[in-house]
């Protein structure tokens, strides 16, 4: 077996990429650490050095996918709120388009109502919630808070249903999702999003 | 152990009620069939006669909870669409209010991304989808179809976030959720809901 010399971080990144290709596209039970090690051309011992158990490897892959989703929906500095929102939604849907199976795995979990898997997805929802709340002129009250969480659920349900066919095209969905947030904010007594100060 | 003589259906219903009290309120792993049998004052053999495995018992409890949710959201015959919609949402939120833990268990699953658990929750979503679609003057196209699924996700996310505190009161949420469906239909090119013909 030919070892490629990589730094610790590069090796970890390589293994994560490979792990995501497997874990986020196939049932958890069907994946063997042996197979992943072989494909990465590393020893099984080295794979376990980075990820001590299959479960930890899986969780690291989920977290990495969530980090990607957070990165592609990152607000653009100094942009108008509407531009930021539409850019974030577009980035999100682009991710769904390119990684449909991964997206479904992250949101639905693939080793179940495992509390740790749910916590990863909930952490993502909370991060999105905080970004929206931060763009409001004042902290959301109870009703507005629920409405924002509802909108996040709206986006997920639309995206999950859209992922298999990706029809209608992304731009149509960006309009729908951005329009809904504006309406939800207005209907629950919130002010429109404000430009970053 | 004193056996109470019950008909087959009554016995099954009794065991399901008891099962729901346990399975929908506590972690799956923490529940023993022995304990349920004892509480129901039946032999373990009789419990297994109705539900051959703990898993089958659990699934039957989930399905029973979904049937209840479908029943309390049943459209009222001959009512105006708005009255039907608000009545259904009110019934749904009332169920969430009274069975908060059960609701969360059904929607999130408590033995995981078990495909069978997901299928039960998805079956419920599809039933609600079909009811809404049936109340439209024509079958929804792709965008409208996604928007309706999005609204169902909106309702779930709002309800899950609302369940722990039940604040603000139900009536406020009925307004929010009914208003969102009207807006979603309009924004994605759908006609308003029509009275049952």
- d(CA A11, CA A46) in angstroms, rounded, equals 10
Question: Could you write out the three-class secondary structure of chain B?
Answer: CCCCCCCHHHHHHHHHHHHHHHHCCCCHHHCCHHHHHHHHCCCHHHHHHHCCCHHHHHHHHHHHHHHHHHHHCCCCCCCCHHHHHHHHHHHHHHHHHHCHHHHHHHHHCCCCCCHHHHHHHHHHHHHHHHHHHHCCCCCCCHHHHHHHHHHHHHHHHHHHHHCCCCCCCHHHHHHHHHHHHHHHHHHCCCCCCCCCC
**Rounded Cα–Cα distance for residues A196 and B158 (Å):** 27
Nearest CB among A109, A112, A168 relative to B142 is that of A168
Provide mean pLDDT across the span B35-40: 94
Calculate what percentage of chain A has a pLDDT beyond 90.
Answer: 65
Q: pLDDT class for A104, splitting at 50, 70, 90?
A: confident
B116-149 tens-digit pLDDT: 877 888 899 999 999 999 999 999 999 999 999 9
Indicate yes or no: CB of B158 within 8 angstroms of CB of A146: yes
Burial of A5 (0-12, 13-18, 19+ CB in 10 A): exposed
- Residue A191 is predicted with a pLDDT of 76
Mean pLDDT, chain B, integer: 89
Rounded to a whole number, what is the distance in Å from the CA of B80 to chain A's nearest CA?
A: 23
Provide the pLDDT for residue B196.
Answer: 56
Least confident of A129-133, A169-173, A178-182, B76-80: B76-80
A166 phi-psi bin (left φ>0, alpha ψ -120 to 50, beta other): left
For position A143, what pLDDT does the model report? 95
Q: Which two tokens stand for residue B129?
A: 């989808």
d(CA B178, CA B160): 17
Higher pLDDT, B6 or A151: A151
Q: Is the pLDDT of residue B94 over 90?
A: yes
Contacts of A172 in chain B (CB under 8 A): 143
Residue A53 to residues A12, A33, A46, A59, Cα–Cα distance (Å): 14, 9, 12, 10
**pLDDT tens for each residue of B144-167:** 999 999 999 999 999 999 998 999
pLDDT at A36 over 90: yes
Contact indicator for B188, B147 with CB cutoff of 8 Å: yes
Mean pLDDT of chain A: 89
Contacts 24+ apart (CB under 8 A), A26-30: A27/A110, A28/A58, A28/A110, A28/A111
Q: Which two tokens stand for residue B106?
A: 């059904």
State whether residue B119 sits within 8 Å of chain A by CB. no
Pick B179's closest partner by Cβ from A117, A158, A187: A187
pLDDT for A101 equals: 80
CB-CB under 8 Å, B158 with A157: no
DSSP-based three-state secondary structure for A136: coil
Least confident of A50-54, B9-13, B100-104: B100-104
What is the predicted pLDDT for the residue at A3?
Answer: 59
Of A26-35, A103-112, A134-143, B112-121, highest mean pLDDT: A134-143
Query: Tokens for B68?
Result: 């209840």
Is A125 within 8 Å of A43 (Cβ atoms)?
no
pLDDT band at B4 (very low <50, low <70, confident <90, very high): low
The model's pTM is 0.89
ipTM of the complex: 0.88
Judging contacts by C-beta atoms under 8 Å, the chain B residues touching residue A168 are 142-143, 146
Testing the interface with A: which of B111, B133, B161, B163 to mutate, by most A Cβ within 10 A? Answer: B161
State the best of B108, B147, B150, B169 to mutate against chain A, taking most chain A CBs within 10 Å.
B150
Query: What confidence score (pLDDT) does residue A175 get?
Result: 95
Q: Is the minimum CB–CB distance between B27 and chain A shorter than 8 Å?
A: no
Q: Is B121 on the interface with A (CB under 8 A)?
A: no
Mean pLDDT of B92-107: 85
Residues of B in contact with A113 (CB under 8 A): 108-114, 117
Q: Do A157 and B154 touch (CB under 8 A)?
A: yes
| Mean pLDDT (whole number) for B18-24 | 90
Give me the residue from B158, B179, B187 closest to A176, CB to CB: B187
All residues of chain B having their beta carbon less than 8 Å from the beta carbon of residue A153 are 153-158, 160
Q: Are B177 and B155 in contact (CB under 8 A)?
A: yes
């Amino acid at each position: 077996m030919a070892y490629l010399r990589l730094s610790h971080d590069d090796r970890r990144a390589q293994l994560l990429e490979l792990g995501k290709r497997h874990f986020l596209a196939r049932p958890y039970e069907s994946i063997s650490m042996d197979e992943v090690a072989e494909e990465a051309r590393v020893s099984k011992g080295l794979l376990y050095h980075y990820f001590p158990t299959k479960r930890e490897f899986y969780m690291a892959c989920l977290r990495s996918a969530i980090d990607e989703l957070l990165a592609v929906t990152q607000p653009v500095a100094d942009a108008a709120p509407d531009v930021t929102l539409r850019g974030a939604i577009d980035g999100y849907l682009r991710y769904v388009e390119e990684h449909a199976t991964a997206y479904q795995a992250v949101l639905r979990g693939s080793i179940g109502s495992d509390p740790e898997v749910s916590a990863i997805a909930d952490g993502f929802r909370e991060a999105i919630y905080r970004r929206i709340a931060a763009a409001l002129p004042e902290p959301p009250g109870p009703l507005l808070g629920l409405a924002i969480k509802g909108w996040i659920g709206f986006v997920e349900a639309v995206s999950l249903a859209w992922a298999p066919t990706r029809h209608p095209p992304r731009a149509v969905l960006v309009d729908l999702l951005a329009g809904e947030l504006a309406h939800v904010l207005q209907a629950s007594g919130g002010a429109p999003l404000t430009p970053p100060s």
